[in-house]
């Protein structure tokens, strides 16, 4: 088995999951740590374990590659750094697994595609559901035509976030640009719940390339004091004629949780995931003739499957890449269309929001958004 060296770019936040995977399972996978790039690595809860392994720490990718190399670079940094770091890594000989979203702008993703093609390196994007076994089984049936063409898809996710969520790290959350002028465009749809927009675009398209949004009606709102939005209702038409409806919010309050739920209508079947008012990871298709197919439990969590796929690709194994840049750019284009349709988020009316225990939220918003989802209506 070919040994694979891995550079971890960003070890805080979501990147900590990749650290844990490497520390716990690196040896059995035949991979080793080539280094860590993170100017704040000392703040990582795994810093001491990494240091004990003799790992080198670097502030920038430039500093690492000045005297080192890696077979694979795993990028888990804030959005504004994705394009530059991914391009630099492939240009210096590494394959790349970059966390979602691919980048903040379509132009940045296009630059990533150009660098990938020019260097011949793999550049995978970490939208987790693309790597999920149950979701891949569903995707195979969709592509085989067993469900018929996609007709109408809708998804809902309500994940309340405290003010501390927007203050974490370098304070980039909810911002349009960072201090250096780099685009971020971080919002509820571009980051935390990006998986569920991307999943509809990915499943509705052919192969692993996805499909673009053709047009949309969209409402973006904010209760928090941020530059972007924490709540969205979007009614979109896809280029292949299917409809797509999406509802998400970070402002529904401490009791306003609704984990992901969706209902996808195809010509021959309806696919459902999740449970309104509850929690379920069952992914089930009910066919028009009454037949039912259970694809198994499905989850967007975890780094293991993404890392395993990237390592296999580095080794030259004949495995597919389920989330290439061609799929990820569909989500980036949808985000650009949202900004074009709604350059500024609407602020919830004065007095509508309240603050409790460090959380800004809108009473009654959860029920209103659930009705939007059930009835496919705007807020």
| CATH code of 62's domain | 3.40.50.720
- Comparing C-alpha atoms, which of 74, 211, 188, 246 is closest to residue 139? 211
Is residue 89 located within the same domain as residue 42?
yes
- Residue 308 domain-assigned? no
Is residue 119 located within the same domain as residue 202?
no
- Residue 313 domain-assigned? no
What pLDDT was estimated at residue 357?
86
pLDDT digits (tens, 9 = 90+) for 281-319: 999 999 999 999 999 999 877 899 999 999 999 999 999
Beta strands in 159-208 (DSSP E): none
Is residue 189 located within the same domain as residue 239?
yes
Which residue range forms the structural domain that includes residue 112?
4-128
- Residue 156 domain-assigned? yes
55-84: buried (b, 16+ CB within 10 Å) or exposed (e) per residue?
Answer: bbbbebbeebbeeeebbbbbbbbbbbbbbb
- How many domains does one find in the chain? 2
Is residue 282 located within the same domain as residue 295?
yes
Is residue 193 located within the same domain as residue 341?
yes
pTM of the model: 0.96
Select from 92, 108, 128 the last residue of a domain.
128
- Residue 76 domain-assigned? yes
- Residue 312 domain-assigned? no
Is residue 295 located within the same domain as residue 341?
yes
Select from 96, 128, 160 the last residue of a domain.
128
Low-confidence residues of the chain, pLDDT below 50?
none
The CA distance from 58 to 264, in Å, is 45
What pLDDT was estimated at residue 279?
87
Is residue 114 located within the same domain as residue 138?
no
Residues 6+ away with beta carbon under 8 Å from 7: 33, 34, 35, 36, 37, 64, 68, 70, 72, 73, 74, 89, 94
Is residue 148 located within the same domain as residue 193?
yes
Is residue 288 located within the same domain as residue 143?
yes
CATH classification at residue 228: 3.30.360.10
Strands 31-37 and 4-9: parallel
Is residue 119 located within the same domain as residue 149?
no
Is residue 194 located within the same domain as residue 296?
yes
The CA distance from 225 to 189, in Å, is 17
End-to-end, the C-alpha distance of the chain in Å comes to 55
Most distant pair of Cα atoms in the chain: their distance: 63
Is residue 65 located within the same domain as residue 195?
no
Select from 128, 146, 177 the last residue of a domain.
128
- Residue 181 domain-assigned? yes
What pLDDT was estimated at residue 260?
97
- Residue 139 domain-assigned? yes
- Residue 316 domain-assigned? no
The CA distance from 351 to 88, in Å, is 48
């Amino acid at each position: 088995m070919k040994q694979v060296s891995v550079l971890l770019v960003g070890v805080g936040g979501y990147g900590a999951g990749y650290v844990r995977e490497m520390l716990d399972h690196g040896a059995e996978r035949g991979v080793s740590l080539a280094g860590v790039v993170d100017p704040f690595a000392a703040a990582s809860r795994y810093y001491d374990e990494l240091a004990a392994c003799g790992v080198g720490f670097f502030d920038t990718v430039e500093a690492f590659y000045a005297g080192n190399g890696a077979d694979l670079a795993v990028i888990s940094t804030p959005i504004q750094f994705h394009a530059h770091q991914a391009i630099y890594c492939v240009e210096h000989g590494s394959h790349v697994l970059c966390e979602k979203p691919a980048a903040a702008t379509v132009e940045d993703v296009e630059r990533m595609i150009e660098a990938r093609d020019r260097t011949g390196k793999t550049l995978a994007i970490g939208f987790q559901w693309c790597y999920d076994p149950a979701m891949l089984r569903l995707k195979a049936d969709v592509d085989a035509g067993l469900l018929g063409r996609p007709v109408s898809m809708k998804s809902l996710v309500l994940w309340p976030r405290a003010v501390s969520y927007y203050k974490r790290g370098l304070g980039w959350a909810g911002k349009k640009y960072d201090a250096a002028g780099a685009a971020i465009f971080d919002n509820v749809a571009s980051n935390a719940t990006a998986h569920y927009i991307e999943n509809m675009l990915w499943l509705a398209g052919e192969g692993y390339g996805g499909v673009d949004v053709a047009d949309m009606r969209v409402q973006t709102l904010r209760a928090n004091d941020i530059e972007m939005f924490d709540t969205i209702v979007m009614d979109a038409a896809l280029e292949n004629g299917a409809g797509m409806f999406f509802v998400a919010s970070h402002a529904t309050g401490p009791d306003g949780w609704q984990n992901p739920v969706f209902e996808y209508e195809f010509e021959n079947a309806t696919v459902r995931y999740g449970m309104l008012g509850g929690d379920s990871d069952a992914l089930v298709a009910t066919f028009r003739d009454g037949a039912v197919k259970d694809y198994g439990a499905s989850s967007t969590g975890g780094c293991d499957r993404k890392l395993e796929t990237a390592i296999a690709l580095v080794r030259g194994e004949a495995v597919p890449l389920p989330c290439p840049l061609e799929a990820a750019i569909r989500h980036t284009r949808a985000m650009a269309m949202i900004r074009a349709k709604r350059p500024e988020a609407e602020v919830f009316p004065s007095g509508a929001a309240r603050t409790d225990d460090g959380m800004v939220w809108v009473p009654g918003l959860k029920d209103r958004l659930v009705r939007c989802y059930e009835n496919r209506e705007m807020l």
